[in-house]
Amino acid sequence: MAKALFFDFFGVVGCEITSIWFRHHGITSGIGEIRQELFAKMDSGEITEDENYQLLSKRVGIPAETIKEEWRSMFFVNEELIKAIDELRKTHRTYILSNAASTYLKELIKRYDLARHFDGIYISAEMGKIKPFPEFYQHVLDDLGLEASEAVMTDDNAKNIEGAIKTGLNGIVFKNAEQYLKELSKID
């Protein structure tokens, strides 16, 4: 049985806000490039959340303050998964492992009172390491005193799961809470 369950935040615990935001504004081209150039820098702590909004604003022609407000207003929590996590906490430790800007993620966690569902939170911008790189996962494992085989990473991004598996963790590509619990039962 796994000792720890790791959950991505955006796309698992809550919605993947960037996809929703781009779709809302009808932006279909250059998204991959924007994710690589801007979001990866923000997630690794190279630029701040506000600097990211300024740069994104220049790329898409929407005021930075509007982007910031929309990202906060469009977010929602995956309540079905949160219920499952609460049950799993009876037998497992649970952690958020997220590629994110620290201020934004912490604000959402506080607003939706999500910290009470997890034993800890690891944010890439604070660590200076991002998923899917093994250094990210190894940092968390070392910090928790766990062997890789004692943890299961859940993420909606298959590349992040590939990185977790390369590090020795078990991994589940997340689709929904029901699918997650079925996959977990095969591993755990």
95-150 per-position pLDDT tens digit: 999 999 999 999 999 999 999 999 999 999 999 999 999 999 999 999 999 999 99
pTM, 2 dp: 0.95
SS3 2: coil
Per-residue pLDDT at 51: 96
Of the candidates 125, 121, 183, 134, the residue with the CA atom closest to the CA atom of residue 162: 134
Confidence bin at 37 (pLDDT 50/70/90): confident
Higher confidence at residue 36 or residue 126?
A: 126
Lowest mean pLDDT among 33-42, 54-63, 131-140, 158-167: 33-42
Average pLDDT value for residue range 45-52: 95
Q: Is the pLDDT of residue 36 over 90?
A: no
Per-residue pLDDT at 188: 82
SS3 78: coil
Average pLDDT over the chain, rounded to whole?
Answer: 96
Greatest Cα pair distance, the chain, in angstroms, is: 50
For the chain, the structural domain boundaries read: 4-15+77-187, 18-73
Lowest mean pLDDT among 29-33, 78-82, 121-125: 29-33
d(CA 142, CA 49): 28
Distance in angstroms between the alpha carbons of the first and the last residue of the chain? 5
d(CA 87, CA 100): 26
Which CATH fold would you assign to the domain 4-15+77-187? Rossmann fold (3.40.50)
